Amino acid sequence: MPISPDLLEILCCPRSKVPVQMLSEEQLAALNGRIEAGEVKYQDGSTVEKPLQEGLITEDEETAYRIDDDIPIMIVEQGIPLT
């Protein structure tokens, strides 16, 4: 189930306060390819081991956040730096 538009409207990056939007299918596929190659780390430095089923991305495309079981994981340390 996708995130409700009302919730998406109020969510923002907990670190930068930049609004977020859903990852597109293309962005999700590219990120998951990098995860499978072992190239992606969370903000805290730990390796992202599990591909994302859904995710959010900041509007400046600097950080992604996973969505697990329809719950956005909006924790600074669990952000995925994209740059």
How confident is the model over 30-70, as pLDDT tens digits? 999 999 999 999 999 999 999 999 999 999 999 999 999 99
**69 is written with which tokens?**
């079981």
pLDDT above 70 covers what percent of the chain? Answer: 99
Residue 1 has pLDDT above 80, yes or no: no
Q: Which helix (H) or strand (E) holds 13?
A: none
Rounded CA-CA distance 17/30 in Å is 24
Neighbours of 20 (CB within 10 A): 21
Which pTM value belongs to this model? Answer: 0.93
